[in-house]
Structure 1
Amino acid sequence: MDYKLFHKDCIEGMKQLPSKSLDITVTSPPYNLGIKYSKYSDKCERTEYLEWTLDWTNQVYRVLKDDGSLFLNLGSSPNNPLLPHQVALLLSEEWTLQNTFHWIKSISLEKKDGEHISAGHFKPINSKRYVTDCHEYVFHFTKTGNVTLDRLAVGVPYADKSNISRWGHTKGKDRRCRGNNWFIPYNTIQNRNKERPHPATFPYQLAETCIMLHSGGRPCSILDPFLGIGNTLTAAQNCGMASFVGYEIDEHYLDEAINLTTENATIQ
């Protein structure tokens, strides 16, 4: 396996990669919501942020193969809800939005017996205008809109097992498409600084779902322009991917990513 981590700006770094050389990009850039990173200012004018987004996604477009996938995780805030949609509209001038997934962090359900259950974690807000935000977007962009996915690689068992024999498309397998709502909660932690020393991460299981959906388990090359503490790297390892390229401007986050890897990852 060839895993390379770069301590540099992703735009400059990706310019050095060959065109059409990578299969999958899974990433979560800064959201421009004022999150306190140590080496990046997450608060700029909206037009400046969108121009920067166009700069780095243009490089991703160049280095992705024609049948590649970009899985772009974006969130918002209650008083700034349009940002993910503005980014999606901007990218749709060049890319095709093939799928939109909803990463559900927390959910409350009423069971048939009337009992209410809640699962997952969320950051509560105290407001008379807004409800607590329990989800984020994962936009799946491709160059053509015709990229074949392995839906059953991330499928789920049928709740009603009679469907297995009732429908011919099941081919006798207890597996159905998961759909576009993905409930993937954060793992419980006791100390953020020690266990998740980054102000805005996604669970590695989210990246795993994206990787498996595109690859179906076959070895692929993965790119994460915003490596953070390495959750996409962990996902690539867990999925047995052939190669990985990641960029991070903060050396402390990069050190955390290196500590997570079991592969012979090299820092460039």
Structure 2
Amino acid sequence: MPLSKKYAHDRQCVLYPGDCFKLIKSIPDESIDLTISSPPYCMGKEYETSTNYEDFINLHEKLIPELLRITKPGGSICWQVGFHVASSVVTPLDYLVYSTFGKCEGLYLRNRIIWTFGHGLHCQKRFSGRHETVLWFTKGKDFDFNLDDVRVPQKYPGKRSYKGSNKGRPSGNPKGKNPGDVWEIPAVNARHSEKTGHPCQFPHAIVQSIRCPCPRGQ
């Protein structure tokens, strides 16, 4: 059944379990404002069938034409990835994603966001990994970016200008500051309040932080 037959506009969230390659073909052309995903890293985890990054590349080459097809002009694609590790050799997956997505005409990288977290596996023969990345692409050069939706408190909220025409006025935006492209967000561990049964779950705050490319009201 096409997704359009199941979708209800009055629902806050609709889940479609299944193979994304099959589901995406049911989505109409240029109908999606924002896609956020964290794909499998092809490291042989319990929900994966591959252990090599060549398969990671092949899967993305297969998926990207469909992603472009369903994305509205000015829409966004946000891809959260980490590292492929095999025999202590590390491959940065954001490099592979950029190499693949970068071949697509009309797709532009807007940010490479660093997501850092304070805990995780402890490595013995290399520095422990404490960050992953989010690549934000837009389809076309005209796009939405609602900064006010994601502002964070100013470092010095009461600071005021001491000279010039703005003397005595707040030196920073009273609504808060741009959060920048390095985000410190705790990972979802076994005791995290958001924890479900998924072995590699990422936090809601990641999605909340990158919702600004989506037009208001969507």
Measured against the shorter chain, the TM-score band is 0.7 to 0.9
For the 8 Å contact 1:151–1:178, the answer to whether it is kept is no
Higher percent of residues as helix: 1
Structure 2 counterpart of 1:96, from 108, 118, 141: 108
Pair 1:16–1:163, CA change in 2 (3 A): farther
SS of residue in 2 equivalent to 1:18:
coil
RCO greater where, 1 or 2, for CA within 8 Å and sep 6 or more?
1
Q: Which runs of structure 2 are paired with 1:80-229 in the superposition (5 Å)?
A: 80-94=90-104, 95-106=107-118, 121-127=119-125, 130-160=126-156, 161-162=158-159, 165-167=169-171, 170=173, 173-187=174-188, 189-190=190-191, 195-211=195-211, 213-215=212-214, 218-220=216-218
Which TM-score applies when normalising by structure 2? 0.79
Cα deviation for residue 174 of structure 1 reads 4.0
Q: TM-score w.r.t. structure 1 length?
A: 0.66
User: How many residue pairs were aligned?
Assistant: 195
Aligned equivalent of 1:49, options 37, 56, 63: 56
Q: Any gaps of 5 or more consecutive residues in structure 1?
A: 107-120, 221-268
Deviation of 1:187 after TM superposition, in Å, equals 4.9
Q: Distance in 1 between matches of 2:198 and 2:142?
A: 35
Kindly provide the amino acid, as one letter, of the partner of residue 181 in structure 2. N
Q: Contact (CA 8 Å) 1:70, 1:142: kept in 2 or not? A: yes
The 1:24/1:126 distance shift into structure 2, 3 A limit, reads same
In structure 1, distance between residues paired with 2:142 and 2:112: 15
Does 2:94 align with 1:73?
no
Counterpart residue number, 1:261: none
Residue 4 of structure 1 deviates from its aligned partner by 3.2
Misfit runs of 4+, over 3 Å:
187-192
Q: Which amino acid aligns with 2:57?
A: L
Q: Per-residue deviation at 1:197? A: 1.6
| 3-state SS, counterpart of residue 60 of structure 1 | helix
For residues 35 and 147 of structure 1, do their structure 2 counterparts lie closer, same or farther at Cα, with a shift above 3 Å needed?
Answer: same
CA contact (8 A) 2:188 2:195 kept: no
CA distance in 2 between counterparts of 1:50 and 1:187 reads: 26
> C-alpha offsets along residues 9-45 of structure 1, whole Å, 9 cap, x if unaligned?
11121111100111111110001222222xx31324x
RMSD: 2.5
Identical counterparts, % of pairs: 22
Q: CA deviation at 1:55?
A: 1.5
Structure 2 unmatched runs, 5+:
1-9, 162-168
1:159 is displaced (CA, Å) by 1.5
**Aligned pairs (5 A) from 1:11-22:** 11-22=21-32
**Does the 8 Å contact 2:188/2:201 carry over to 1?**
no
